[in-house]
């Protein structure tokens, strides 16, 4: 066995002279110092020896292990030292690398801008739960029992009496139930509709509803508020129009369109919001005297606002979380 120990030591010395990298050194460590390495095998064989030479063999084996371990550690320190002197060198004269820390999502940017405009017009901000009662979402807003919007194809019902809100108008009901006129508020938030996904529709989107209740409120005031909003969001030169429409909770009702012109394409009118004077039945449902108070309301989709403002042609891009797309709209 003394010959085996001597042979192992000679082979180790020959191999370690050829080592030039950490990877090669690791291979040597595994071969000679690993749990199943050559030295480990020699110590296992040593346990089986019964001759009188065992003390001499044991001493020689221990010396071999000490020599191998020492030379290994010495070479390891040298390799690490050489590596640190070049690979980890830092040139302090180089300019720093700019870190990307993220930015607000384009929907959040648009929503913040809408909030800021209406706050400047004197509107407060209220929020409400996304899980709503059928009464707040439909009944109190003057929806008949057989209205198509109650159908399962349009609404995510959780139970017979509760659903995922299809608009943020229920927050209007909550505000009018809790506070007395005069009221001037907007209600931003997520809404849900059971619709198929396409370039123009999504099952989840964001809305901003607005409400004003006071004495001597006119449709002219509603129109002036919305025109001011459109000009602040899209620019003073924005082309707009009001079209007669119908909503169960407003009478008379209208929709507002703006002229959308993409470069190289034919322009067209696109609807951005619905509005109207609050129906007296809605006021009575929340305990407000319609003989004394009048109100107007409006509602707009934030995704539609973003699509028009930034010239995006597919709503699904807003929800795909593709950084290549989102980085085009980094806020400063």
- If you write DSSP's letter for every residue of 101-112 in order, what string do you get? -----HHHHHHH
Task: Specify whether 149 is located in the same domain as 258.
Answer: yes
The model's pTM is 0.67
pLDDT for the residue numbered 84: 57
Tabulate helix, strand, coil % of the chain (nearest 5).
Answer: 45, 20, 35
Q: Structural domain tally of the chain?
A: 2
Query: 80 in a domain, yes or no?
Result: yes
pLDDT for the residue numbered 130: 96
Query: 11 in a domain, yes or no?
Result: yes
Q: Is the dihedral of CA 63, 66, 70, 76 positive or negative?
A: positive
Query: 94 in a domain, yes or no?
Result: no
The residue among 264 and 220 whose pLDDT is bigger is 220
Q: What is the mean pLDDT of residues 285-303?
A: 95
Query: 95 in a domain, yes or no?
Result: no
* HEC assignment per residue over 272-302: EEEEEEECHHHHHHCCCCCCCCEEEEEEEEH
Residue 323 has pLDDT above 90, yes or no: no
Q: For residue 282, give the CATH number of its domain.
A: 3.30.930.10
Task: Specify whether 77 is located in the same domain as 220.
Answer: no
Query: 92 in a domain, yes or no?
Result: no
| Among 161, 156, 146, CA closest to 190 | 156
Place of tokens 């001759």: 51
Task: Specify whether 81 is located in the same domain as 112.
Answer: no
Query: 122 in a domain, yes or no?
Result: yes
321 is in which domain, residue-wise? 106-329
Task: Specify whether 19 is located in the same domain as 145.
Answer: no
- How much of the chain exceeds pLDDT 90, in percent? 48
The residue among 39 and 123 whose pLDDT is bigger is 123
User: How does residue 53 score in pLDDT terms, banded at 50, 70 and 90?
Assistant: confident
Collapse the DSSP code of 236 into the 3-class scheme (helix H, G, I; strand E, B; otherwise coil) and give the result. coil
Task: Specify whether 45 is located in the same domain as 131.
Answer: no
Task: Specify whether 152 is located in the same domain as 11.
Answer: no
Dist CA 20 CA 37 (whole Å): 21
Instruction: Write the CB contacts of 322 (distance below 8 Å, at least 6 apart in sequence).
Output: none
Task: Specify whether 38 is located in the same domain as 174.
Answer: no
Q: Supply 124's token pair.
A: 């407060």
Instruction: Write the CB contacts of 2 (distance below 8 Å, at least 6 apart in sequence).
Output: 53, 56, 57, 60
Task: Specify whether 201 is located in the same domain as 309.
Answer: yes
Dist CA 76 CA 79 (whole Å): 5
Dist CA 230 CA 258 (whole Å): 8
Query: 182 in a domain, yes or no?
Result: yes
Query: 93 in a domain, yes or no?
Result: no
């Amino acid at each position: 066995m003394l010959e085996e120990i001597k042979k192992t030591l000679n082979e180790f010395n020959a191999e370690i002279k050829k080592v030039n990298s950490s990877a090669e050194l690791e291979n040597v460590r595994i071969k000679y110092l690993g749990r199943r390495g050559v030295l480990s095998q020699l110590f296992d064989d040593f346990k089986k020896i019964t001759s009188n030479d065992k003390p001499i063999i044991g001493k020689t084996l221990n010396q071999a292990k000490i020599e191998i371990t020492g030379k290994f550690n010495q070479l390891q320190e040298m390799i690490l030292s050489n590596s640190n002197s070049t690979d980890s060198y830092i040139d302090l004269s180089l300019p720093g690398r700019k870190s990307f820390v993220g930015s607000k999502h384009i929907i959040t940017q648009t929503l913040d801008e809408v909030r800021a405009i209406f706050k400047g017009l004197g509107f407060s901000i209220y929020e409400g739960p996304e899980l709503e009662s059928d009464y707040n979402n439909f009944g109190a807003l003057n929806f008949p029992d057989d209205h198509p919007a109650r159908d399962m194809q349009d609404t995510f019902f959780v139970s017979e009496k509760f659903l995922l809100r299809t608009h943020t108008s229920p927050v209007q009901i909550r505000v009018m139930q809790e506070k007395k006129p005069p009221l001037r508020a907007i209600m931003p938030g997520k809404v849900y509709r059971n619709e198929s996904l396409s370039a123009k529709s999504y099952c989840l989107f964001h809305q901003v509803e607005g409400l004003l209740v006071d004495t001597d409120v006119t449709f002219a005031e509603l129109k002036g508020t919305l025109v001011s909003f459109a000009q602040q969001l899209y620019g003073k030169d924005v082309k707009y129009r009001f079209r007669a429409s119908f909503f169960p909770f407003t009478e008379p009702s209208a929709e507002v369109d703006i002229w959308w012109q993409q470069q190289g394409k034919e322009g067209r009118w696109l609807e951005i919001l619905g509005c109207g004077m609050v129906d007296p039945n809605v006021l009575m449902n929340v305990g407000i005297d319609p003989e004394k108070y009048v109100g107007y309301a409006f509602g707009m989709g934030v995704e539609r606002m973003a699509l028009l403002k930034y010239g995006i042609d597919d709503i699904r891009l807003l929800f795909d979380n593709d950084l290549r797309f989102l980085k085009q709209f980094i806020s400063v």
